[in-house]
Structure 1
Amino acid sequence: MTTIDEQLDVLMSGAAYGDPQTKENMRAELRERLIEAEKEGRPLRVYAGYDPRKPDLHLGHTITMRKLRQFQDFGHEVIFLVGTFTSLIGDPSDKGEARDQLTMDEVEENAQTYAAQAFKILDPEKTTIRRNHEWLSGLTFADVIHMASNFTVQQFLTRENFSKRFDVGAPIYLHEFFYALMQAYDAVALETDVQVGGQDQLFNILVAGRKLQSAMGQKPQVAIIMGESLPGTDGSEKMSKSAGNHIPLMGEPWDMFGKVMSIPDDAMPIYHKLILGWQAEQLAELEKGLSDGSLHPNEAKMRLAREITMIFHGEDGAEAAQQRWDEVFRSKGDGIPDDIPESQLTEEKKVLDILRDLNMVSSGKEFKQLVQNGGIRVNSEKIDDAQMTLTPGDLPAVVQVGKRKFVRLV
């Protein structure tokens, strides 16, 4: 049987709080909770929340999911919380401006596949799926005022994203303060022992959640704040769909494989660490091989892409993805696969609208960035006009987005 100290070493690994003392405090509190739960013969209640502002989760989300899985492996109760109510506002924690507000219909549509995506990491038999509109939608205005009375405006203005906007006179909307209150109430409603989150959740979990639980007569939860974030395909910025550098979990296997292949070489170690769970000795060996030339970066990245794709799409998906990669990038032809999808074009239409209708780009902003970077080709020729149109007289035509997405218009 695993000892409490052994559990602690695993469960606190990768956690960071900005100062060593807070980490020691959280470790001591987690030890106390584990001892208490063992005496009472119950598991800890652990959760993390995921806001369905977009329909797909990405590799960056799996960092906290893997921590939840560690709790599951030790026999603790895990709650995967879908933020169906908090998504209506959107977390401002890592944003320099207010997010657009969604409707409940938009949120519900996005949330449909979240459970299936979560089960790529979590054990379905040991996971409870909850949605926070279950309790947040029933709060009265008096309830909100009571919760808000536990916090000061100054507390919120110490948050970096708010303080920067305050200093330059940029708008800070009152409803943005409510997000932390709602997330804090999630912990109260679920009566949690532990909440897991990323660095952008430090205030929401460590301050707001614990404080509201105390104010409402509960023992404040232990905060497990993951210290590292997964960089996106650019290798520098945190992975984010809004930044266009994400790798979606539910995309096509070849798309996941290709996007992993596109990351910079120096980002490979952190992908091995955070996604594959490599330990220090394995990472040191990888970095040594890359440094002394005994391991070719492309060989290492190919293996990484295959292993990550296999996690989410199985061995067959990974095999097919690698074959497609080889076909496109190792062939001596024009680099266009034979088995690309076809779509009919019956009238003159902007290339942007064609690709957006086919879900090959998510927005006009993404399309314009791709055009500026030479990432859109028609019949192998880069286009430089974001307003370009195609007509039935231009067909057949092959449109390529980035290095891996193709459609044949007929």
Structure 2
Amino acid sequence: MKQISSLQHVELIPESTIKTIEAGKKMLIKFGADPSAKDLHLGHCVVLFQLQKLQEMGHHVQFIIGDFTAKIGDPTGKSETRKPLTNEEIAINAKTYQEQVFKILDPNKTTVYYNSEWLEKLTSNDLIQLAAKYNVARMMERDDFEKRFKQGQSIGIHEFLYPLLQGYDSVILKSDLEIGGTDQKFNLLVGRHLQREYQVGVEQAIMTMPILEGTDGVKKMSKSLQNHIAIDDEPEDMFGKIMSIPDVILQQYISLLTDESAASIKQKTQAMQEGSLNPRDIKVELGQYIVKRFYSEDRARDAYNHFQTLFKKKEVPDDIPEIQIGSAISIANLVVEHKLLPSKKELYRLVNQGAVSIDNNKITDMHETLKESSSILKIGKRKLYKIILAT
């Protein structure tokens, strides 16, 4: 039996939960994610990797896809009201989440739920009773709500409902433990409170994990901030993004995304600070570890070789994707038709940053037309495409 010592960086409420986890009795462990974006990323993996360890200890995961709560949008850490998603966007993202989560979790020890199954059935009376279980004073203890209130910024009534609805999931599922990032602590405790109020016979314990910073080294990893590493990224992109992270957050990435011991991490950190170990070498090791975990050892080696060719030798790799076009086309239309970027808006942003080039010439107009029979299109630091104009 694995001991709780193998679960690093956790905070448990109550602390006596350690004994329950180690006792061997199967626990129902809840983890929820709103499908607010198309892909899961390494920020989600901090929790998912710990859930994987808990499954190895014999526990069962209740994975909740928040297709109903996504219509509100989690206000946690937000300085303004979130824009609600459409039903179509939620459905597409939810399907992706369900597929991607099993790259990490054991499907035989996981039950997937959509919280619309029970939240859509709530009557007006049910909702009033739920709202009566909590008060505004407690709700305003949340840092984000308190800051917005003091700054005179809008707080929607529907945002108060979010933690109540997330907590109600725990009432329905009678979860023994809920896990989430440290920023979710308030919401998780609401679930524990509601289980007590509804007298469901269990009060879930709370396990929180540190938040992984994005590749900018400043803010929480998030697709909306364009500082994320998606678990469905191509190996070359995944490896390249790992190589781009600031040295100052390298220790955090190793601690939260690998099984390396605290003693080993401390030794490496000290060696980097003393100058006897190059941070680049540690990034190479981490990049290959991450790619191997989601793909294979061969793909990890290929990603490293691709990076070496592209950045160290400054050559164009032989294996870059080719795109054949039948006639002259604008860069904007090419990007949209072949889905090279999520949107023209993203292309516009990159063009303004000087991050798009044709044959090493920076593009200043996204509507510029590709006319050459063969061109190399570079988008950002890592995306290369060979554009071939059929004659």
Same fold (TM over 0.5): yes
Cα displacement string for residues 109-159 of structure 1 (whole angstroms, at most 9, x for unaligned residues): 111122332122212221111211111111111111110001112222221
In structure 2, the partner of 1:397 is 375
Distance 2:10 2:143 in 1: 20
Alignment partner for residue 14 of structure 1, among 9, 14, 21?
Answer: 9
Q: Secondary structure at the match of 2:61?
A: strand
Rate the CA distance shift 1:343–1:265 in 2: closer, same or farther, 3 A. Answer: farther
In structure 2, the partner of 1:275 is 257
Cα displacement string for residues 86-118 of structure 1 (whole angstroms, at most 9, x for unaligned residues): 111211111111111112222111111223321
Distance 1:32 1:315 in 2: 37
5+ residue gaps, structure 2: none
Query: How far apart are residue 369 of structure 1 and its match?
Result: 4.0
Query: How far apart are residue 362 of structure 1 and its match?
Result: 2.8
Name the amino acid aligned to 2:9: G
Q: Secondary structure at the match of 2:73?
A: coil
Distance 1:34 1:391 in 2: 61
In structure 2, the partner of 1:355 is 335
Rate the CA distance shift 1:147–1:393 in 2: closer, same or farther, 3 A. Answer: same
Alignment partner for residue 248 of structure 2, among 266, 270, 275?
Answer: 266
Query: How far apart are residue 10 of structure 1 and its match?
Result: 4.0
In structure 1, the partner of 2:104 is 121
In structure 2, the partner of 1:160 is 143
Alignment partner for residue 223 of structure 2, among 238, 241, 252?
Answer: 241
In structure 1, the partner of 2:125 is 142
* Residues 67 and 196, structure 1, Cα contact 8 Å, conserved in 2: no
Q: Secondary structure at the match of 1:49?
A: strand
Q: Does 1:26 align with 2:14?
A: yes
In structure 2, the partner of 1:87 is 70
Query: How far apart are residue 316 of structure 1 and its match?
Result: 2.2
Rate the CA distance shift 1:332–1:225 in 2: closer, same or farther, 3 A. Answer: closer
* Residues 244 and 366, structure 1, Cα contact 8 Å, conserved in 2: no
Alignment partner for residue 158 of structure 2, among 164, 169, 175?
Answer: 175
Distance 2:155 2:326 in 1: 45
Cα displacement string for residues 60-111 of structure 1 (whole angstroms, at most 9, x for unaligned residues): 1001112211221111111121111111121111111111111222211111
Q: Secondary structure at the match of 1:48?
A: strand
Q: Does 1:100 align with 2:83?
A: yes
* Residues 230 and 274, structure 1, Cα contact 8 Å, conserved in 2: yes
Rate the CA distance shift 1:91–1:357 in 2: closer, same or farther, 3 A. Answer: farther
Cα displacement string for residues 281-320 of structure 1 (whole angstroms, at most 9, x for unaligned residues): 1111211221233322222211111111100111122122
Rate the CA distance shift 1:358–1:179 in 2: closer, same or farther, 3 A. Answer: farther
Q: Does 1:251 align with 2:233?
A: yes
Query: How far apart are residue 367 of structure 1 and its match?
Result: 3.4
Name the amino acid aligned to 2:321: I
Distance 1:356 1:14 in 2: 42
Q: Does 1:193 align with 2:176?
A: yes
Q: Does 1:406 align with 2:360?
A: no
Cα displacement string for residues 44-71 of structure 1 (whole angstroms, at most 9, x for unaligned residues): 1101001111110000100111221122
Distance 1:338 1:76 in 2: 44
Q: Secondary structure at the match of 1:294?
A: coil
Q: Between 335-344 and 75-84, report the one with greater CA deviation.
A: 335-344
Query: How far apart are residue 186 of structure 1 and its match?
Result: 0.6
In structure 1, the partner of 2:362 is 382
* Residues 343 and 407, structure 1, Cα contact 8 Å, conserved in 2: no
Count of aligned pairs between the two proteins: 387
Distance 1:274 1:250 in 2: 19
Q: Does 1:286 align with 2:281?
A: no
In structure 1, the partner of 2:323 is 342
Alignment partner for residue 110 of structure 1, among 65, 71, 93?
Answer: 93
Q: Between 369-378 and 176-185, report the one with greater CA deviation.
A: 369-378
Cα displacement string for residues 195-218 of structure 1 (whole angstroms, at most 9, x for unaligned residues): 000122111101x11111111102
Q: Between 267-276 and 121-130, report the one with greater CA deviation.
A: 121-130
Query: How far apart are residue 239 of structure 1 and its match?
Result: 0.7
Name the amino acid aligned to 2:362: K
Distance 1:32 1:331 in 2: 54
Q: Secondary structure at the match of 1:112?
A: helix
User: What TM-score, normalized to structure 2?
Assistant: 0.92
Q: Secondary structure at the match of 1:97?
A: coil
Query: How far apart are residue 378 of structure 1 and its match?
Result: 2.0
Distance 2:222 2:344 in 1: 17
Cα displacement string for residues 255-287 of structure 1 (whole angstroms, at most 9, x for unaligned residues): 101111111122211111111122211111211
Aligned sequence identity (%): 37
Query: How far apart are residue 403 of structure 1 and its match?
Result: 1.6
Rate the CA distance shift 1:278–1:179 in 2: closer, same or farther, 3 A. Answer: same
Name the amino acid aligned to 2:44: H
5+ residue gaps, structure 1: 17-22
Query: How far apart are residue 236 of structure 1 and its match?
Result: 2.2
* Residues 347 and 366, structure 2, Cα contact 8 Å, conserved in 1: no
* Residues 253 and 317, structure 1, Cα contact 8 Å, conserved in 2: yes
User: What TM-score, normalized to structure 1?
Assistant: 0.88
Name the amino acid aligned to 1:299: D
Rate the CA distance shift 1:258–1:345 in 2: closer, same or farther, 3 A. Answer: farther
